[in-house]
Amino acid sequence: MDGVRFGEMQTSELVVSSRANARVKQLRAAFQGHARLSGGMVAIEGDHLLEEAWRSGMVLKTVFVSERRTVPGIVPRGVEVVRLTEEVFGSVVETQSPQGVAALMVPPVRVLADLFEGAGAALILIAAGVQDPGNLGTLVRSAEAFGANGVLTTPGTVSAWNQKALRASVGSLFRVPVVGVTASEVAELEGRGVRLIAAVGAEDSGVVAAREMDFTAVCAVMIGNEGSGLAAEWMEMCDARVTIPCPGPVESLNAAVAGSLLLYEASRQRAVSKVSGS
């Protein structure tokens, strides 16, 4: 087994030097997003994400360290640790300057009901056709920063566990519920009392400026595709349309920027409402 005793839950004295090693192949498949070949595992890389995963209660299955690294002190006892040569480690991970530590973890299972737990009016972000993983990861991070209950992703939206999305979230993906939903499930949100608010890029008839929109009740902000915006099927479902007035000569904002600004405005309004109601 290329020097690694897989049954041992500790660091082996030997170093894996083969790219064909079973654990190496599993890690590579996870980095490439192949759920079946990775056994459903998600790959993470770097000290920060490893620490965030541990701090957030994620289940670590195997930690990989390059031969030049010591095992991070936060790795729990009982977690399998596999040591790789520098060449093998560099062939698996996706960053240009590897930090020498990576891991396989069990992704959390989230369901739609998770977004409605707890007191207060739910605030939800819906990523409808967002294809840039950096944008999605940033939106998840902003959702956590501004107190949203979670993020829903529609068909056509990039996977939240894409490596670029994961890095852009800076660990927020470990804590914020991100749930894939169908168009019918989005339509059924009305039955839960959710007001669907479409983010659009232009001010015309029926569009409300962000500061004038009421975000204090249960609502979901919908952010569309980076190039074409929200598709017709999503616009037809929406109860209101909101825009962010821009004095500068731009047609629209980046999806992640727009979503973050709207979440901030929702957070601001809710804080004011809470103070006023106390």
Please give the pLDDT value at position 8: 38
Where do you find CATH 3.30.1330.30 in the chain?
Answer: 22-106
- 15 vs 165: which has the higher pLDDT: 165
State how far the Cα of 224 lies from the Cα of 221, in Å rounded to an integer.
10
Least confident stretch, 15-19, 143-147, 156-160, 201-205: 201-205
Please give the pLDDT value at position 3: 38
Q: Is 100 exposed, middle or buried (0-12, 13-18, 19+ CB in 10 A)?
A: buried
Bridge partners for 221 per DSSP: 125, 197
Q: How many CB atoms lie within 10 A of CB 263?
A: 23
Q: What is the rounded average pLDDT of the residues 164-171?
A: 96
State how far the Cα of 125 lies from the Cα of 194, in Å rounded to an integer.
11
State how far the Cα of 141 lies from the Cα of 143, in Å rounded to an integer.
5
State how far the Cα of 164 lies from the Cα of 160, in Å rounded to an integer.
9
Mean residue pLDDT across the chain: 90
> What CATH architecture does domain 112-277 belong to?
3-Layer(aba) Sandwich (3.40)
Please give the pLDDT value at position 273: 84
pLDDT of residue 2 exceeding 70, the answer is no
Please give the pLDDT value at position 233: 94
Please give the pLDDT value at position 96: 76
> What CATH architecture does domain 22-106 belong to?
2-Layer Sandwich (3.30)
pLDDT in tens, 213-250: 999 999 999 999 988 889 999 999 999 999 998 888 77
Q: How many CB atoms lie within 10 A of CB 34?
A: 12
Inter-residue contact 20 to 88 (CB < 8 Å)? no
Where do you find CATH 3.40.1280.10 in the chain?
Answer: 112-277
pLDDT of residue 6 exceeding 60, the answer is no
Provide the strand spans (E) within the chain.
42-45, 59-66, 80-84, 101-106, 123-127, 150-153, 178-180, 195-199, 207-209, 219-223, 240-243
- Residues 6 or more apart whose CB falls under 8 angstroms from that of 234 comprise 128, 154, 183, 186, 198, 222, 224
Instruction: Find, among 243, 226, 225, the residue nearest to 234 by Cα.
Output: 225
Inter-residue contact 38 to 104 (CB < 8 Å)? yes
Residue type, 152: L
pLDDT in tens, 25-77: 999 999 999 989 999 999 999 999 999 999 999 999 999 999 988 999 999 88
For 27, the token pair is 């890690």
pLDDT in tens, 120-156: 899 999 999 999 999 999 999 999 999 999 999 999 9
State how far the Cα of 198 lies from the Cα of 29, in Å rounded to an integer.
36
Please give the pLDDT value at position 82: 94
Residue type, 219: C
Inter-residue contact 151 to 175 (CB < 8 Å)? no
- 228 vs 84: which has the higher pLDDT: 84
State how far the Cα of 58 lies from the Cα of 71, in Å rounded to an integer.
18
